[in-house]
Chain A
Amino acid sequence: MMPPTQGTTTPDTTGIARWQMPSLVVGIIGLVACAIGWFLDPTAFFRAYLPGYLFWFEIVVGALGVLMLQYVTGGEWGILIRRPLGAAARTVGWMLVLFLPIALGMHAIYSWTDPNFVAHDKALQLKAGYLNITFFLIRAAFYFFCWILWAWRIRVLSLKFYQDRSPYTALSRQKWAASGLVMITLTLTFTAFDWIMSLEPKWYSTMFGINFFISAGLAAFAFVIFFLTRLADTPAMADILKPMHFRDLGNLMLTFVMLWAYTAFSEFLLIWYANIKEEIPHFLVREAGVWGFIAVLLIVFHFFLPFFMLLMRAIKDRPSTIAVVAVIVLVMRFIGLYWLTEPSYSGVHFHFSWMTLASLVGVGGIWLYAFIGQLKGQTIIPIHETWVEEAVREGALKANA
Chain B
Amino acid sequence: MAIGKPIEGVYGVIAEFHDAQELLDAANKTREAGYTSIDAFSPFPIHGLSDAIGFKHTKLSAVVLGMGIFGGLAGFFMCWFPNVIHYPLNIGGKPLNSWPAWIPITFETTVLFAAFGAVFGMLALNGLPMPYHPVFNVSRFEQASRDRFFLVIQARDPQFELGKVRDFLDSLNPREVTDVPW
Q: Which residues of A contact B (CB under 8 A)?
A: 265, 268-269, 272-273, 275, 394, 396
A394 touches B47 (CB 8 A): yes
6 A-B pairs with the lowest CB-CB distances in the bound complex, closest first:
A269-B100, A272-B100, A394-B47, A396-B47, A273-B101, A265-B103
A268 to B101, CA, bound (A): 10
A275 to B104, CA, bound (A): 18
Check if B131 is an interface residue, CB within 8 A of chain A.
no
Residues in chain A near residue B34, CB distance under 8 A: none
Check if B92 is an interface residue, CB within 8 A of chain A.
yes
Q: Which residues of B contact A (CB under 8 A)?
A: 47, 92, 94, 100-101, 103-104
B101 touches A269 (CB 8 A): yes
CB-based nearest B residue for A275 = B92
Residues in chain B near residue A265, CB distance under 8 A: 103
CB-based nearest B residue for A395 = B47
Residues in chain A near residue B94, CB distance under 8 A: 275
Ordered by A's residue number, 13 sampled pairs between the chains whose C-beta atoms are within 8 Å are A265-B103, A268-B100, A269-B100, A269-B101, A269-B103, A269-B104, A272-B100, A273-B100, A273-B101, A275-B92, A275-B94, A394-B47, A396-B47
Residues in chain A near residue B103, CB distance under 8 A: 265, 269
CB-based nearest A residue for B93 = A275
A42 CB to nearest B CB, Å: 40
Residues in chain B near residue A273, CB distance under 8 A: 100-101
Residues in chain A near residue B100, CB distance under 8 A: 268-269, 272-273
Known: A268-B100, A273-B100, A275-B94. 10 other contacts (CB 8 A): A265-B103, A269-B100, A269-B101, A269-B103, A269-B104, A272-B100, A273-B101, A275-B92, A394-B47, A396-B47
A138 to B103, CA, bound (A): 41
CB-based nearest B residue for A393 = B47
Residues in chain A near residue B104, CB distance under 8 A: 269
A216 CB to nearest B CB, Å: 24
A166 to B103, CA, bound (A): 51
Residues in chain A near residue B92, CB distance under 8 A: 275
A269 CB to nearest B CB, Å: 5
A180 to B96, CA, bound (A): 47
A394 to B92, CA, bound (A): 57
B79 CB to nearest A CB, Å: 13
A272 to B101, CA, bound (A): 9
A209 to B23, CA, bound (A): 51
CB-based nearest A residue for B57 = A313
A394 to B47, CA, bound (A): 8
A146 to B69, CA, bound (A): 45
Residues in chain A near residue B101, CB distance under 8 A: 269, 273
CB-based nearest B residue for A266 = B104
A259 CB to nearest B CB, Å: 13
A148 to B56, CA, bound (A): 50
A396 to B101, CA, bound (A): 39
A95 to B103, CA, bound (A): 39
B57 CB to nearest A CB, Å: 9
A177 to B103, CA, bound (A): 36
A342 CB to nearest B CB, Å: 24
A186 CB to nearest B CB, Å: 28
A110 to B63, CA, bound (A): 52
B96 CB to nearest A CB, Å: 15
A273 to B101, CA, bound (A): 7
A265 to B100, CA, bound (A): 9
A273 to B92, CA, bound (A): 9
CB-based nearest A residue for B91 = A273
Residues in chain B near residue A396, CB distance under 8 A: 47
A376 to B47, CA, bound (A): 35
A269 to B47, CA, bound (A): 43
B139 CB to nearest A CB, Å: 31
A272 to B92, CA, bound (A): 12
A257 to B170, CA, bound (A): 52
A308 CB to nearest B CB, Å: 10
A275 to B103, CA, bound (A): 17
Residues in chain B near residue A269, CB distance under 8 A: 100-101, 103-104
B100 CB to nearest A CB, Å: 5
Residues in chain B near residue A275, CB distance under 8 A: 92, 94
CB-based nearest A residue for B65 = A311
CB-based nearest B residue for A394 = B47
A265 to B101, CA, bound (A): 11
A330 CB to nearest B CB, Å: 26
A400 CB to nearest B CB, Å: 10
A61 to B18, CA, bound (A): 49
A268 to B100, CA, bound (A): 9
A401 to B104, CA, bound (A): 35
A394 to B51, CA, bound (A): 14
A395 to B92, CA, bound (A): 54
CB-based nearest A residue for B48 = A394
CB-based nearest A residue for B92 = A275
CB-based nearest B residue for A312 = B61
A364 CB to nearest B CB, Å: 35
Residues in chain A near residue B47, CB distance under 8 A: 394, 396
CB-based nearest B residue for A399 = B45
